[in-house]
Amino acid sequence: MKAVLLGAGAIGSVIASLLGRREEVEHVLVADRSLDAAKALATTHDGGRLEAARIDASDVDGMAKAFRGYDLVLNVVLPRFNLKIMDACLKAGVHYMDAATDLALAREKPGDAVKETPYAQQLRYDDGFRAAGLTALLGMGADPGLSNIFARLGADRLDTVEEVLVRDGDSGQVQGHEFVALWSPDTLIEEVLMPALAFRDGRFVRLGSLEGEEVFDFPPPVGPLTVYNVDHEETETLPLFIGKGILRADFKLAIPKDLATALSVFQRFGLHAGTMMEVEVKGSGERVRIAPRDILTALLPNPKDLAAKVRGAASIAVVVRGTKGGKRDGWMFWFVLDHQETFRKFGFNATAYPVGAPMAMSALMIGKGEIARRGAFPPEVLDPMPFFRRLPEFGILVREKRLP
Ligand SMILES: NC(=O)c1ccc[n+]([C@@H]2O[C@H](COP(=O)([O-])OP(=O)(O)OC[C@H]3O[C@@H](n4cnc5c(N)ncnc54)[C@H](OP(=O)(O)O)[C@@H]3O)[C@@H](O)[C@H]2O)c1
């Protein structure tokens, strides 16, 4: 298999390390808008298979030219480039995979009716990819990705599905830091403060940000953490693809209570804004152009520098409730990864590793024809069993329990 890895960032690094050492991978073109970043990654993990290139994800024709002759593109740049990369894949005749959708495209305010979710734009590519005999696997990673597969496994064991709840918790801490973001602080602030989508009584609704506070008991050693509704891909796709009469779906992320309070205050002051504005800094007599969020993120440590120092564990748990044989029934599926142990084994902490590993695994499955469905679709439309069989090979052990 010959693959293009587009995006030499946190998740791209995991994928390069895994694909770079697989016999069945002939060649990986590691590409980024920065050739230096691509080269640094390609040389770190090179076993004779990786080559670096400069590719700009906003240039469809340039990408199409670069993609020709490859089998698959793994898109791990930012989701705002998804449609352009999908266009380029269609032009070049290559399979496509990404890890996120552009949720920032949602325009409704809390309480507004939701006519169409951002995911719909990518699902419109279904016919095109199908006609071209190509696969576009949308939202593969930890969550979305494994969470969708867990949801499908639960749904397959039930006759009807009432609710699917996805919960993401991390007890990770770094000594000497009051607060750290374990992935892009910019994305964290944007994601947490965006009005969240939820599926209630068979309808999509837009909630306010940081609603739905509750304590979720994550499997040990993570334990109970306060979680809040956060906008996420699974809430968009599970109601459309799980079927079986699903009535409720939502995604909640564990956020320390004091951080949630701080973020709400930042939002009230406009300090969360990612758009450039002109402000006069007191006493300087000069007006400067700045995105207020950049000040917050500049004051936080870079997640890349923290990878080896995080202590604690990360977990993603999915609860699926419904009925079986006319009786109430339900399942919970989860994985837990310890940050230190994951770093020792794989060189990445438990935040980035379980995102990149399922992507690398799915790339191999596409290469081998184990994922043979064509069109553009989320992971829950696929048979979950082949994923479960392969995950232990990548150090991810899925646990399950029946719910009372
Ligand atoms: N499914 C999941 O579980 C999950 C979890 C985490 C993340 N994700 C998704 O995974 C993706 C990658 O995340 P990450 O943490 O690896 O991000 P990241 O560390 O910021 O890496 C993204 C890389 O893409 C580069 N880039 C930005 N614009 C580009 C362009 N126009 N052309 C080419 N390269 C460009 C960035 O360069 P600069 O550094 O110069 O900007 C950076 O090297 C994101 O879509 C994220 O939402 C999914």
Which tokens belong to 287? 């007006």
Count of CB atoms situated within 10 Å of the CB of 201: 7
Cα–ligand 1 centroid distance for 43 (angstroms): 19
Considering the domain delimited by 2-141+352-396, tell me its CATH architecture. Answer: 3-Layer(aba) Sandwich (3.40)
Question: Are 123 and 256 in contact, with CB atoms under 8 Å apart?
Answer: no
Burial group, residue 56, by CB count within 10 angstroms (0-12, 13-18, 19+)? middle
Q: How far apart are CA 311 and CA 342, in angstroms?
A: 11
SS3 call for 277: strand
Instruction: Tell me which of 78, 168, 355, 380 to substitute to probe ligand 1's pocket, judged by most ligand atoms within 8 Å of the beta carbon.
Output: 78
Peptide bond into 292 cis (omega under 30): no
Q: Write down the domain spans for the chain.
A: 2-141+352-396, 142-346
Q: How far apart are CA 364 and CA 212, in angstroms?
A: 38
Establish whether residue 30 lines the binding site of ligand 1, counting it when its CB lies within 6 angstroms of any ligand atom: no
SS3 call for 220: coil
Q: Which of 247, 297, 304, 251 is closest to 271 using CA atoms?
A: 297
Beta-sheet pairing, 135-137 with 95-98:
parallel
Instruction: Report the nearest-CA residue for atom 17 of ligand 1.
Output: 9
Establish whether residue 314 lines the binding site of ligand 1, counting it when its CB lies within 6 angstroms of any ligand atom: no
Establish whether residue 5 lines the binding site of ligand 1, counting it when its CB lies within 6 angstroms of any ligand atom: no
- For the chain, first and last CA: distance in Å? 45
Packing angle of the helix pair 233-241, 147-156 (nearest 10 deg): 30
**How far lies 166's CA from each of 22, 254, 321, 369, in Å?**
32, 11, 12, 29
Establish whether residue 73 lines the binding site of ligand 1, counting it when its CB lies within 6 angstroms of any ligand atom: no
Per-position pLDDT tens, the chain of length 404: 999 999 999 999 999 999 999 999 999 999 999 999 999 999 998 778 999 999 999 999 999 999 999 999 999 999 999 999 999 999 999 999 999 999 888 888 998 888 888 999 999 999 999 999 999 999 999 999 999 999 999 999 999 999 999 999 999 999 998 888 888 888 889 889 999 999 999 999 999 999 999 999 999 999 999 999 999 999 999 999 999 999 999 999 999 999 999 999 999 999 999 899 998 878 878 888 999 999 989 998 888 888 889 999 999 999 999 999 999 999 999 999 999 999 999 999 999 999 999 999 999 999 999 999 999 999 999 999 999 999 999 999 999 999 98
Q: Count CA atoms within 13 Å of residue 109 on its CB side.
A: 0
Question: Are 138 and 98 in contact, with CB atoms under 8 Å apart?
Answer: yes
Considering the domain delimited by 142-346, tell me its CATH architecture. Answer: 2-Layer Sandwich (3.30)
